[in-house]
Amino acid sequence: MLSPDAVQKFISIVGPERCKTAREDLLTYAYDAYVHEFLPDAVLLPQSTQEVVAIMKLASAGNIFVTPRGAGSGLGSGSLAKKGGIVLSFSGMNRILEINTANRYAVVEPGVVIAEFQRAVEKLNLFYPPDPGSANVATMGGAVVMNAGGMRGVKYGVTRDYVLGLEVVLPSGEVMKTGTVTAKDVTGYDLTRLICGSEGTLALVTKVIVRLLPKPKTKRTLQAIYNNLDDAGNTVARIIEAGIIPATLELMDQTIIKALEDFAHLGLPLDAAAVLLIDVDGEPETVEKQAAVVAEFCKNQGARDVRVSQSEKENEQLWVARRAAFGAIARVRPTCIIEDATVPVSLLASAIKKILEVGERNRVQIAVLAHAGDGNLHPFFLCDQRDKEEMARVERAMDDLVDYAMSVGGTLSGEHGIGIAKAKYLPRQLSETSLRMMRAIKKTFDPQGILNPGSFLEHGL
Amino acid sequence: MISKELREEVYKCIKCGLCLTPCPVYNLLRFEGASPRGRVQLIKKSLEGKTELSENFQRLLFTCLLCETCTANCPSGLKTDRLMKTMRSEIQERLGPDWPKGMLGNLLRDKRRLPFFLFCERTRENLFSSQKGKSDLPADSEFFRPGSKALRQQVPEVNPVPEVKGKVLYFTGCATNYFYPNVGKSVIKVLNRLGMEVILPRGQMCCGLPLFQAGGRKKALKNIRENLKLFNRKDVDAIVVDCAACGAALKKEYALLLEEMGEDANPAKELAGKVMDISQILARSDLGKWLKPVPQRVTYHDPCRLGRSQGVREEPRDLLRQIPGLELVEMAAAEECCGGGAALPWEHPEVASGISRKKIQSIKETRATVVASGCPWCRRQIGENLGPDPIRVMHPIEVIAEALRES
């Protein structure tokens, strides 16, 4: 519990409106898009780096826990106050500070919503590729500390590939700048990329510098429709093997297709076993050619039909629907736990088979979505968290899936992070030496252990 | 009482957050309690008995435009607006209304009290110059200014035409009746020109929407029943409304409410099938030959109650396009709420006008000379936030009526 005195001091920094301690307000910061809830003692909504500095000086002096939060769209309780204390919400620091067209970079505050930033740079014919499914919700700061991936990973990589530099506030309240605005920089350790993906355990990001690309001139979206899930999986492996690099390569199975159609009414093929949603982008001539090659390729691999979108609007509608997949699946069951184990892409078809087998064995309904081009699986475990017995089966199914991913050289998490959702599996992938190094790094940044306590590194300690 | 279906509804929220950025209130205030996801969480906790109906709970629940943007955007199909409305009535039933809501109930359920109250409000303005602009009456309305009268006092109950091609009942609503009689006169003029007899049944009551949006469901039952009795007539072709809010009430809310309250919803469903927005009934007819050129730049704002509630988006635009020489320009995000929704302009004026700023900017960017909208509360909110700009705020039917040739 926070002392009334501490609350008073925080109010003196951000004012009473942006220091929330009423039970109703705390309840609305107790969740993210995962299933657990943790009630914070207070929520602070800073609007400047100076305020964050003042907050951290107070917090470190009083040993008060602080957990940073963007939009709360995470999938592993990463932004929740797992041990109480303060939730520091960056939703009010949402200005785009600079878009530099001459040197193709931008500087933003952490609370800027990713999709809003994308639209702003696209107006200037620039392009910010990292594109998590939650881009319409998630913030740039959240994407940085979680190293968010997303749908364009297969061609353009992930958030870490675009972060040039950061301004961060350390748990002590010191401000540190990392990186530069230049495309190359080998000055010292790469703290930028260390903080990127640190799940808010090392420092609080208050400014982000990202590099931008020229906007691809044109884009086509293809829907390859399959009667057989296996064929869809094999197509993906073959496309990658053949050296074709689409901008996105998404796979969805029948359950997902049905839920999306129910929401968006786009005429998706309800009788199909799977659909591959494929974007090709670039120069108009190349795109035309590539679209034809990909379509032909899919047909040869057993696609019963390939639809090519005819307009930008049609592209957009399909992707709006795809982005809604996580929410739309709640039409089937009230709780959805998304796994994101990732395997080498050549194993995609067998991995999907394995997932369905795991579901059957544990009597858990699983729908399959995948950023297929990256081998990044998103099995949706459909359940109802009020049913304890069912949740135990879900847990066992997760265990089985982790066993499988580890056995084929995959990873625990492709892009959602560890949080508390996968903390118990961490020693399966990381050696005692790696964990020791990571804990030492944490200790250097945050000797008091006040930043995002209860997160992945502390499991089993 | 909250129905079992709605109780289960809260568990459909998977907290994906897709309702956050489209929500006008969240976008302005940027804290979770101001978001649909946050409010659903609070309703869920309240239904589970884990939080009280505290003052803060009520404040968060009522800092909402009921614009239905969240419902339209929810991938899991959560009926967020139904939940909000039901919870609001739960609050009123358990705790009783606060005094403004109580007064609203007293005014809108009685045919004489409302005009009397409005008369007093305007008189206060008229008599004391220090009170000018301090009442809640729209500044641009002539109502109870010296020499003005309510619509239903100005026009007869039956407005016949020589050659009857159709017969409609006209539900005028309070806003048109008291504040904007010119809208009503325009409706009658245009329909008459098309050969339609227009009947304004005496004794019609407030549609009740302001009441049940504030949570006064039970109180609104009297209004609903009386209106259903008066307007469910077999001898007319349609029931016409010019007000987006009244239209949403008659077409949609009556039946839903009665169902949610366990009452017989059949009369409401029967009525709903015959209710038409003025733009819908006119979109079917060829008005072109009656219209003279009006070389104006006009932009159209979609009222939440017409676009999202009734799905009427194209008809008002088509109607305006029928005027020769008129240039219809789309504003950015025409469907976004203007800030005038529910009772927000009265309960949280600073939030409402904060939301209006974006709308006003979109309107100004079109360089239009007229902004048209089929909702009196939108017109009021836009009008009061436009500042000194000489843009005219009109109902589309007023634009049509002005373009009508003398016969």
The mean per-residue pLDDT over the stretch A266-277 comes to 95
The mean per-residue pLDDT over the stretch B226-251 comes to 97
The mean per-residue pLDDT over the stretch A265-274 comes to 94
Is the pLDDT assigned to residue B285 strictly greater than 90?
no
Residue numbers in B near A326 (CB within 8 A): 14, 16, 75
pLDDT of residue B148: 75
The mean per-residue pLDDT over the stretch A405-428 comes to 94
Tell me the pLDDT tens digit for each residue of B38-59.
999 999 999 999 999 999 999 9
pLDDT of residue B145: 62
Tell me the pLDDT tens digit for each residue of B203-230.
999 999 999 999 999 999 999 999 999 9
Model confidence at A326, in pLDDT bands (50, 70, 90)?
Answer: very high
State the residue for tokens 């933003």.
Answer: A108
Model confidence at A458, in pLDDT bands (50, 70, 90)?
Answer: confident
Inter-chain touch A92–B41, beta carbons under 8 Å: no
Q: Which of A360, A338, A348 is nearest to A229 (CA)?
A: A348
Model confidence at A362, in pLDDT bands (50, 70, 90)?
Answer: very high
- Residue B122: count of CB within 10 angstroms of its CB: 21
pLDDT of residue A453: 96
Would you say A172 and A56 are in contact if contact means Cβ atoms under 8 Å apart? yes
In b/e form, how buried is each residue of A363-400, taking b as 16+ CB within 10 angstroms? ebebbbbbbbbbbbbbbbbbbebeeeebbebbeebbeb
**Residues of B at the A interface, defined by Cβ within 8 angstroms:** 11-18, 20-21, 30-33, 35, 37-38, 41-42, 45, 50-51, 54, 56-57, 60, 74-78
Domain boundaries, chain A: 1-215, 218-327
- The partner residue sitting opposite A134, judged by closest CB among B17, B51, B78, is B17
Residue numbers in B near A30 (CB within 8 A): 41
Residues 6+ apart with CB under 8 A from B302: B313, B334, B335, B373
Per DSSP (E only), the strands in B255-301 are 275-277, 297-300
- The partner residue sitting opposite A33, judged by closest CB among B15, B21, B56, is B15
Full 3-state SS string of A32-59: CCCCCCCCCCEEECCCCHHHHHHHHHHH
pLDDT of residue B147: 61
Mean pLDDT of chain A: 95
The mean per-residue pLDDT over the stretch A354-372 comes to 96
Distance CA(B338)–CA(B180), nearest Å, equals 19
Best to test chain B binding among A20, A25, A28, A75 (most B CBs inside 10 Å): A28
Is the pLDDT assigned to residue B407 strictly greater than 90?
no
Question: What is the CATH architecture assignment of B4-95?
Answer: Orthogonal Bundle (1.10)
pLDDT of residue B387: 87
The pairs formed by A54-57 with CB atoms below 8 angstroms and a separation of 24 or more are A54/A13, A54/A173, A55/A10, A55/A13, A55/A14, A55/A86, A55/A88, A56/A169, A56/A170, A56/A171, A56/A172, A56/A173, A56/A204, A57/A172, A57/A173
Distance CA(A142)–CA(A181), nearest Å, equals 20
Model confidence at B146, in pLDDT bands (50, 70, 90)?
Answer: low
pLDDT of residue B142: 61
pLDDT of residue B117: 81
Inter-chain touch B11–A334, beta carbons under 8 Å: yes
Model confidence at B3, in pLDDT bands (50, 70, 90)?
Answer: confident
Residues 6+ apart with CB under 8 A from B6: B79, B82, B83, B86, B260
Residue numbers in B near A29 (CB within 8 A): 32
Q: What is the dihedral of CA B138, B142, B146, B151, to 10 degrees?
A: -120
Inter-chain touch A22–B75, beta carbons under 8 Å: no
Inter-chain touch A23–B75, beta carbons under 8 Å: no
Structure tokens at A180: 């530069």
Q: Could you confirm whether domain A218-327 is CATH 3.30.70.120?
A: no
pLDDT of residue A165: 98
Is the pLDDT assigned to residue B122 strictly greater than 90?
no
Q: In what order do the strands lie in the sheet with A96-100?
A: A96-100, A105-108, A204-211, A163-169, A175-179
SS3 A82: strand
The mean per-residue pLDDT over the stretch B225-245 comes to 96
> What pTM does this model have?
0.94
The mean per-residue pLDDT over the stretch A237-251 comes to 92
- The partner residue sitting opposite A72, judged by closest CB among B18, B30, B32, is B32
Distance from CA of A378 to the nearest CA of B (A): 15
Distance from CA of B29 to the nearest CA of A (A): 8
Q: Where is pLDDT greater, at B148 or B109?
A: B109
The mean per-residue pLDDT over the stretch B133-156 comes to 72
Is the pLDDT assigned to residue A291 strictly greater than 80?
yes
Distance from CA of B24 to the nearest CA of A (A): 14
- The partner residue sitting opposite B75, judged by closest CB among A115, A138, A328, is A328
- Residue B355 is which amino acid? I
pLDDT of residue A227: 97
CB pairs under 8 A between A and B: 112
State the residue for tokens 């780096």.
Answer: A49
Q: What whole-number percentage of chain A has pLDDT above 70?
A: 100
Model confidence at B177, in pLDDT bands (50, 70, 90)?
Answer: very high
Inter-chain touch B30–A326, beta carbons under 8 Å: no
Question: What fold, for B287-403?
Answer: Rossmann fold (3.40.50)
pLDDT of residue B132: 62
Is the pLDDT assigned to residue B130 strictly greater than 70?
no
Inter-chain touch A327–B20, beta carbons under 8 Å: no
pLDDT of residue B101: 85
Is the pLDDT assigned to residue B194 strictly greater than 80?
yes
pLDDT of residue A366: 96
Residues 6+ apart with CB under 8 A from B204: B171, B172, B227, B230, B231
Model confidence at A461, in pLDDT bands (50, 70, 90)?
Answer: low
Distance CA(B407)–CA(A333), nearest Å, equals 62
State the residue for tokens 């080498």.
Answer: A344
Is the pLDDT assigned to residue A424 strictly greater than 70?
yes
Domain boundaries, chain B: 4-95, 287-403
**Residues for chain A: how many in total?**
461
Residue numbers in B near A262 (CB within 8 A): 77
Question: What fold, for A1-215?
Answer: 3.30.465
Most confident of A309-323, B142-156, B323-337: B323-337
pLDDT of residue B133: 60
Model confidence at A141, in pLDDT bands (50, 70, 90)?
Answer: very high
Q: Which of A53, A43, A40 is nearest to A18 (CA)?
A: A43
Q: Residue A220 belongs to what H/E stretch?
A: strand A218-226
SS3 B136: coil
pLDDT of residue B283: 86
Q: In what order do the strands lie in the sheet with A19-20?
A: A19-20, A42-44, A86-89, A66-69
Task: Return the half-sphere exposure (C-beta side, CA atoms, 13 A cut-off) of residue B368.
Answer: 25
What is the rounded radius of gyration, in angstroms, for the C-alpha atoms of chain A? 22
Q: What are the distances in angstroms from CA B276 to CA B168, B189, B239, B310?
A: 10, 17, 6, 10
Q: Residue A251 belongs to what H/E stretch?
A: strand A248-253
